[in-house]
Every structure is written in C-alpha cells, then in structure tokens.
C-alpha cells in the first residue's frame, strides 16, 4: 500500500485491511522498484 499518511493508526488500519507492505510518500523510484521486486520474490538479497 502506498499512502500519504504515516500515522500509526493508518498503518494499523491498512494491515488489518490486508496490506502486506506499507510505503509512505515521498519515496524514491528505486525504493519502490526494490519493494515491488521483493514482493514478487524477484529482488536481489
């Protein structure tokens, strides 16, 4: 989940709703790509 809210309650609500990852704005393109590749098990460890 990508969000503009970084408050603890927003993160907890997202996890309860089924989010498996949470990334707040502003983020760098390389960080988003790395997170997506990791979630698809295509990332490099």
What pLDDT is recorded for position 22?
Answer: 81
pLDDT at 4: 66
Domain membership flag for residue 44: no
26: number of Cβ within 10 Å: 6
Cβ atoms 35, 21 nearer than 8 A: yes
**pLDDT value for 7:** 83
Residue 16: predicted pLDDT? 93
pTM assigned to the model:
0.55
Alpha-carbon separation of residue 24 from 28, 40, 44, 45 (angstroms)? 11, 19, 22, 22
Our count of domains for the chain comes to 1
Q: Is 45 contained in some domain?
A: no
Given this model, what pLDDT does residue 17 score? Answer: 93
25 falls within a domain? yes
Domain of 34, in residue numbers: 2-39
Residue 20 domain-assigned? Answer: yes
Is 8 inside any structural domain? yes
- 13 falls within a domain: yes
Tell me the per-residue pLDDT of 1-45, one tens digit each, with 9 for 90 and over: 666 667 888 888 888 999 888 888 888 999 889 888 888 888 765
């Amino acid at each position: 989940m990508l969000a503009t809210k970084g408050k603890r309650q927003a993160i907890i609500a997202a996890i309860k709703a089924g989010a498996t990852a949470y990334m707040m704005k502003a983020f760098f393109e390389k960080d988003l790509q790395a997170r997506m590749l990791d979630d698809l098990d295509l990332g490099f460890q």
